[in-house]
Structure 1
Amino acid sequence: MKNILITLNFSENDQRLLDQGYELAKAFKAKLWLMHIAAPNPDFVGYEVGPQYIRDSRASKLRHEHQLLQEYAAAMQIEGVEADGLLIQGATTEMILEESKKLKVDLIIAGYQEHDFIYKALMGNVSSQLIKQSKIPVLIVPLH
């Protein structure tokens, strides 16, 4: 195992995923890829971008998310694990699978948290989609 991908959503549960990835990367001397999938640009999904303050706000949020990924990666490197952060925009499951192939990932680590029916109907469940669609092994970490 040479490359491990951790999917992050910047929640309070990210540390569990990072800890799990760290342990596996350390044991296998693997590289960690820390990935966050940001929502696609509004024009990508058929809406106009809107006023400048909306674009500025979006850009600021993306810079902040990128900085967090870099901080997580730097912390892993201090602990002796090679790590890089990736901030990608697009459809979550598709982007995880696409990037996993590009990076030659051997394992995808994702979290699972139970949601109500309305959330599932509107947002779907990335963990379930990954399990169904991935040809790469997926480790699901329960997040309660």
Structure 2
Amino acid sequence: MKVFKNILVAIDFNDAVGELLSYAESIAEKFGAKIWVVHVAAPDPDFVGYDTGPQYIRDMRADELKAEHKELQQIREMFIDKNIESDALLIQGSTVETVLEEAKKLKADMLIVGTHKHSFFYNLFAESVSVELFKNSEIPVFSIPFGEEK
């Protein structure tokens, strides 16, 4: 039987965050695992080839990242029992690559992601982050479907 010691939960600040963390919490309780709550923020403009712009733009972006990090910490505290070891990380970058790199760094044994329910035709033509994670992950990916079918 596989033992999970580090569970990475990739979140995007939607309504299903509590559901994702509830699953992570139940698995962590069973195995004595640590939960890593990770959110990938948009990369800095210079990372994607754009000028960073005037100082006020950089200051505004820094304030946005501070607010996202604070929200991430609050989510972790709200949804994960204090008796379970957990941490929250805000990382900038390209979502799929950044989640996979962070999973390796943290020695994650499992990745938990949420998936939006969509129609057959939507899924046929659109590649989602969760599908890309499934295709490229070297560790088990646990997918939690949420949302109304569109």
User: Is the TM value for this pair above 0.5?
Assistant: yes
Q: Give the equivalent residue in structure 2 for 1:133.
A: 136
The alignment covers a number of residue pairs equal to 139
Query: Could you tell me the percent identity over the aligned residues?
Result: 47
Q: Give the equivalent residue in structure 2 for 1:8.
A: 11
Q: Give the equivalent residue in structure 1 for 2:59.
A: 56
1:139 counterpart SS class: strand
Report how far residue 89 of structure 1 moved: 0.5
CA distance in 1: counterparts of 2:118 and 2:47, whole angstroms: 27
Divergent runs of 4+, >4 A: none
Alignment deviations for residues 2-45 of structure 1 (CA, whole Å, 9 cap, x no partner): 00000011111211111111111112110000000001000111
Alignment of 1:9-88 (within 5 A): 9-75=12-78, 76-78=80-82, 80-88=83-91
Alignment deviations for residues 59-78 of structure 1 (CA, whole Å, 9 cap, x no partner): 11110111122223334252
CA distance in 1: counterparts of 2:23 and 2:93, whole angstroms: 25
Verify the 8 A CA contact 2:9 2:37 in the aligned structure 1: yes
Report how far residue 115 of structure 1 moved: 5.5
CA distance in 2: counterparts of 1:83 and 1:72, whole angstroms: 11
2:139 counterpart SS class: coil
Report how far residue 114 of structure 1 moved: 3.7
TM-score (norm 2): 0.85
